[in-house]
Chain A
Amino acid sequence: MSDDSDYKSLLSDLIRKQMVMLGPAVALSKARKVTGLSVDESGEVSAISGDPQEALKALAGEYMALSGQIAQMTLDSLLEKYPGIKKQNS
């Protein structure tokens, strides 16, 4: 079972990549729409309250609405670094 730190790390990586791809303001505003996610100005997730898997799904959904399959591909490549989370999401 992956711990919260993995999720925080993964979510932070995802947000930071989206900050490069979409621009910091847009990426952060989407991340801050996700319930239970606390994100600082650098894209670092400081806290997740609630189910981290749900938070990941919601965040991925927000970014996919903007950049479609590219967001999915970004997430897929990040999940390779977190096999425990990848297993839960498959």
Chain B
Amino acid sequence: MDLTTLSLATITIIGTLAGIAGYFLMRQKFERELEIGRTRQEMLSQKAYETAVLAEIGDRIGYSLDGAKIVEIISGSLGKLLPYSAVSYIILDPKESRIKFFCMVSETVSSDFVREVKTKMLAAVTEMNQEPVVDSQIDETISGAILDDTQADTVASFFNLPVIISGKLAGLINVSSKMPGQYGEKNTEVLYRIAKQASEAVSRLQDVLENEKGRLAQAVDSLSDGLLMVDTKYQLAIVNKKLKNLLGVGEKPEIFDIVNALSGQLDLRTKMEEATRKGEVALQEINVKDKTLQVFADRVMDRDNTRPMGVVVLFHDITDARALERLRSDFTSMMVHELRAPLTSIRSSVEILKPEAEKSENEKKYLGIIDSTSGIMLELVNDLLDVAKLESGKFDIIGANDDLGAVIKERAESFEPVAGAKNLKITVNIEEGLPQAYFDKIRTRQVLSNLLSNAVKYSQTGAITVGAKKEAVNGNTVDILVSVADTGIGIDAEDIEKLFSRFGQLAAGRSAGATKSSGLGLFIAKGIVEGQGGKIWVESQGAGTGSTFYFTVPIGREEHKTVEEHPIVFSTKKVAQA
């Protein structure tokens, strides 16, 4: 063989070897790239799985902070992600002190296999909680493939996935297989990541909720009224410090402690049931441990106002207010009675002394002063008594069917002398055929006297007109409208509101009135008119234009009797202290 042939052969051999080497290098490169591609694909599919499961958790949990749902969703989502014979989960229910064990068998295993899974899970729970689990606390559910006890498989590989909310174990997921070596870091990492992210999100929400609950609890605790709230099962959700002190129950009372503390005074359960059904329940006053409490209950609705979520009961301490009321009432009664007697005595004495012809002009003058002044004081004392009765709801009104027109005429006539002294003419206009009205004669006289007295007092010239006519609605007479119109000082619009309040005498009135008055007359008139079922009001165009006072009196009906037969007595409601 010559040199050329040898060179050619060598070159060919080298070239072939290079080609083979190149092939193997290229193949290695392709295999590496294939591997990278496979890994990338696996990572992408794991990422897609992770995103899908987290999205499902987010949708289904919402803001319910339910760790059990996270456990259920992750368990149910495993699908084709991992090979397994059974996936199980344990949910811990602290409220009911129960443990729920669910096992979903995906391929036939024996009962011993399931038992072994349960044992391993309970051992994990015991280790995590550092507290043994009692078998009687466990509720068990097994589903999926049929169990076959002829099979002798054991749990050859498994892993546990804890779900931890705010530092506490909420649940545990177990994935088990008959085959060994199924689970390693690579194929379980995504699940741990999902569980961690979901748990952290729920834990953060729970922390926010706990903070808000803490702030609410502080606000509720600082209330000056006692308050409790129950849920729809009437279990105590909130009870504040004030109520615990009022009822003398311990620091952490149960609902029964509160019911017992109120027993004999308030049927709390019935009140709460009523509030759940109807909403607001009327105020009730009770006495507990020397305290007088007003109790108010109402239901708490959900955000959409469609479903009751519980009931709140408020206990308002009115012990001091009641004591003050009693004190004031007793004082007023005492003062009135103490003052009345001597005043009456003064007037009687004056009446006896007056007629003596031998008295000097001065003596007659001073007797007159004593008489009129004691008269005014007696009037004031009677007004004070009437106001006290109105405010305590003890102002009795004796209603009966009677002739209102006659009462009006009689009162108008009685004021003619005093009106005449000021050149004021009193005119009475009673509608023809005025029907009987239902009213307290004595008290209505009092109202008319007050209105006529004011009309005379605050008019310097002109006339006073008293009228009465029927008022009809849809053709039916419903009441009688009485009016007292004068040509006096008039009332500005902004002052009208004050008129019917206690001591509501206007500045203009005080300077115009020749004689002082208590300022209680219209307040009492309002109490009487409203107590009879009517309304009272005033109209005026302003200062200097006169005023017209109106009040209504109900029509006498068949069911009302005349005063001779059977008068109905009713008391005024407590009047708000203006």
Q: Which residue of A lies closest to B167 (CB)?
A: A69
Is B164 close to A, CB under 8 A? yes
With A21-B160, A23-B183, A26-B183 known to touch, is A67 a contact of B167 (CB < 8 Å)?
A: no
Task: Determine the chain B residues whose CB is within 8 A of the CB of A17 once the complex forms.
Answer: 127
CB distance from B307 to the nearest CB of A (A): 36
Contact stretch, chosen from B184-192, B272-280, B551-559: B184-192
* In contact, A21 and B127 (Cβ under 8 angstroms): yes
Most B C-beta atoms less than 10 A away, residue of A17, A65, A67:
A67
With A21-B160, A25-B159 known to touch, is A73 a contact of B130 (CB < 8 Å)?
A: yes
Is A20 close to B, CB under 8 A? yes
Task: Determine the chain A residues whose CB is within 8 A of the CB of B123 once the complex forms.
Answer: 20
Q: Which residue of A lies closest to B182 (CB)?
A: A25
* In contact, A20 and B127 (Cβ under 8 angstroms): yes
Chain A interface size, as a band, is 10 to 19
* In contact, B162 and A67 (Cβ under 8 angstroms): yes
* In contact, A67 and B158 (Cβ under 8 angstroms): no
Chain B interface size, as a band, is 20 to 34
Residues of B161-215 whose CB lies within 8 A of A: 162, 164, 167, 169, 181, 183-185, 188, 192, 196, 199
* In contact, B127 and A25 (Cβ under 8 angstroms): no
Give the docked Cα–Cα distance between A33 and B185 (Å): 10
CB distance from A44 to the nearest CB of B (A): 18
Give the docked Cα–Cα distance between A77 and B123 (Å): 17
Is A46 close to B, CB under 8 A? no
Query: Which among B120, B130, B164, B183 is the interface contact of A67 at CB below 8 angstroms?
Result: B164
The B contact surface, by secondary structure, is mixed
Is B55 close to A, CB under 8 A? no
* In contact, A23 and B158 (Cβ under 8 angstroms): yes
Task: Determine the chain B residues whose CB is within 8 A of the CB of A25 once the complex forms.
Answer: 157, 159, 181, 183-184
Is B370 close to A, CB under 8 A? no
Is B569 close to A, CB under 8 A? no
Give the docked Cα–Cα distance between A33 and B189 (Å): 14
Give the docked Cα–Cα distance between A70 and B123 (Å): 14
Most A C-beta atoms less than 10 A away, residue of B127, B157, B184, B196:
B127
Task: Determine the chain B residues whose CB is within 8 A of the CB of A77 once the complex forms.
Answer: 130
Task: Determine the chain B residues whose CB is within 8 A of the CB of A29 once the complex forms.
Answer: 184-185
Query: Which among A22, A33, A68, A73 is the interface contact of B159 at CB below 8 angstroms?
Result: A22
Query: Which among B128, B184, B185 is the interface contact of A70 at CB below 8 angstroms?
Result: B128
Q: A31-63 CB contact bits vs B (8 Å, 1 = yes)?
A: 001000000000000000000000000000000
Is B124 close to A, CB under 8 A? yes
With A21-B127, A23-B158, A74-B127 known to touch, is A69 a contact of B164 (CB < 8 Å)?
A: yes
Give the docked Cα–Cα distance between A76 and B130 (Å): 12
Q: A60-89 CB contact bits vs B (8 Å, 1 = yes)?
A: 000001111110011001000000000000
Task: Determine the chain A residues whose CB is within 8 A of the CB of B169 once the complex forms.
Answer: 70
Give the docked Cα–Cα distance between A20 and B169 (Å): 15
CB distance from B192 to the nearest CB of A (A): 5
Q: Which residue of B lies closest to A22 (CB)?
A: B160
Task: Determine the chain A residues whose CB is within 8 A of the CB of B196 once the complex forms.
Answer: 65-66, 68
Task: Determine the chain A residues whose CB is within 8 A of the CB of B199 once the complex forms.
Answer: 68
CB distance from B84 to the nearest CB of A (A): 12
Give the docked Cα–Cα distance between A22 and B188 (Å): 11
Give the docked Cα–Cα distance between A17 and B127 (Å): 7
Q: Which residue of A lies closest to B176 (CB)?
A: A23
Give the docked Cα–Cα distance between A30 and B186 (Å): 11
Give the docked Cα–Cα distance between A68 and B196 (Å): 8
With A20-B124, A67-B162, A69-B164 known to touch, is A26 a contact of B188 (CB < 8 Å)?
A: yes
Give the docked Cα–Cα distance between A7 and B130 (Å): 22
* In contact, A70 and B183 (Cβ under 8 angstroms): no
Task: Determine the chain B residues whose CB is within 8 A of the CB of A20 once the complex forms.
Answer: 120, 123-124, 127
Residues of B within 8 A of A (CB): 120, 123-124, 127-128, 130, 157-160, 162, 164, 167, 169, 181, 183-185, 188, 192, 196, 199
- The 25 listed contacts between A and B (C-beta, < 8 Å) are A20-B120, A20-B124, A21-B160, A21-B162, A22-B159, A22-B162, A23-B158, A25-B157, A25-B184, A26-B159, A26-B160, A26-B184, A26-B188, A33-B185, A65-B192, A66-B192, A67-B162, A67-B164, A68-B164, A68-B199, A69-B164, A70-B128, A70-B164, A70-B169, A74-B128
Residues of A within 8 A of B (CB): 17, 20-23, 25-26, 29-30, 33, 65-70, 73-74, 77
Given contacts A21-B124, A23-B183, 17 further A-B contacts (CB under 8 A): A20-B123, A20-B124, A20-B127, A21-B128, A21-B162, A22-B160, A23-B160, A30-B185, A65-B192, A66-B162, A66-B192, A68-B164, A69-B164, A69-B167, A70-B128, A70-B162, A77-B130
Q: Which 5 A-B pairs have the closest CB atoms?
A: A23-B159, A69-B167, A29-B185, A26-B159, A21-B124
